[in-house]
Amino acid sequence: MKNHPTSPLKIIVISLAVIGIIALALGGYLTPVSRIVLKPLINAQTWLATRYQAIQSYILEPADVSTLRQRNTDLEAEIARLQVEIIELQQQVNETQVLSTLVDYARSRPENKYIAAAVIGRDPSPFFHYVIINRGSDDGLRSGMPAVTQQGLVGQIDSVTAGAARVQLINDPASLINVVLQQTTTDAVLVGSITGELLLEMIPQEVLVQPGELVVTSGLGGNYPPNLVIGQVSTIRRRDYDLFQNASVQSAVSFTQLEIVLVIVNFLPVDITPLIPTAEVP
């Protein structure tokens, strides 16, 4: 092999050619040329890269899917847990609101002592309007103590066990309460009914009762403390040939929504039976 010596002229020509090409490229004169040359190259690379990515994702995706599925399951479990927590917290907020209102009510009547109790059941027979509360004689509850909510009178404890008590609601058909109409200061008797409606009986005919009049306990008979709110007169039934007029009362308490009640523990009914005159046998 022969070694051709590199002449300076050759170097200069090559350098000038390179500089010329660079100058043409910088001046933009080679763009059409490079487009023609590079386009097939770019197309080929694009095709190759797309296929490669497809193959790569085909190989790697199952692992990603399983990871994502696992993650999704974890997140769904987390969402379910948080939703349960939200419901629990909402229940606590509701209970706190009810208790807060009950505390306000208790504070507004400092003469009474109260024990709060949750309603845990109802009488299995629909003929009896009774509820069962989760406090009993161990907590100081006794038969005859009145139960109230912040809205008004709920009923009276009928029987007590160590840990629970049964409360007769004021809308029980056998319930009889001496009440007073606050505006007209008229005494009347409040009776319950099977429909849950409260009825006022024994209102004298001459009294002008108006709808909306407040009905409170009178304390007569000693079964309930006076001035416990019961509700408002809604409709009046007055017939000229009757001895008394009747009225229905819209209760202040929603008996179907009872959750927590306050039992007035410093009140016990007075037994007035010995004071009731009996017919003497000759």
CB of 173 to other proteins, least distance (A): 4
H or E element in which residue 97 lies:
helix 31-108
What is the spatial distance between Cα 261 and Cα 151, in angstroms, rounded to a whole number?
10
Q: Of the two residues 165 and 180, which places its CB atom closer to other proteins in the complex?
A: 165
CB 194 within 8 Å of CB 125: no
CB of 203 to other proteins, least distance (A): 17
CA 210 to chain centre: 36
Q: Of the two residues 112 and 171, which places its CB atom closer to other proteins in the complex?
A: 171
CB 179 within 8 Å of CB 230: yes
Q: Of the two residues 150 and 175, which places its CB atom closer to other proteins in the complex?
A: 175
Q: Of the two residues 133 and 215, which places its CB atom closer to other proteins in the complex?
A: 133
- The residue type found at 13 is V
CB of 182 to other proteins, least distance (A): 26
- Which SS3 state, helix, strand or coil, does residue 201 take? strand
What is the spatial distance between Cα 64 and Cα 195, in angstroms, rounded to a whole number?
63
CB of 161 to other proteins, least distance (A): 9
Contact residues for other proteins, defined by CB under 8 A: 120-128, 130, 132, 158-159, 166, 168, 172-174, 191, 193-196
- Which SS3 state, helix, strand or coil, does residue 259 take? coil
CB of 190 to other proteins, least distance (A): 13
CB of 162 to other proteins, least distance (A): 13
CB of 106 to other proteins, least distance (A): 26
| DSSP strands (E only) in 35-94 | none
Tokens of 257: 């929504």
Q: Of the two residues 50 and 159, which places its CB atom closer to other proteins in the complex?
A: 159
Tokens of 146: 């009145």
What is the spatial distance between Cα 246 and Cα 199, in angstroms, rounded to a whole number?
7
Q: Of the two residues 150 and 168, which places its CB atom closer to other proteins in the complex?
A: 168
Q: Of the two residues 56 and 159, which places its CB atom closer to other proteins in the complex?
A: 159
CA atoms within 13 A on the CB side of 158: 17
For 3, residues 6+ apart whose C-beta sits below 8 A from its C-beta are none
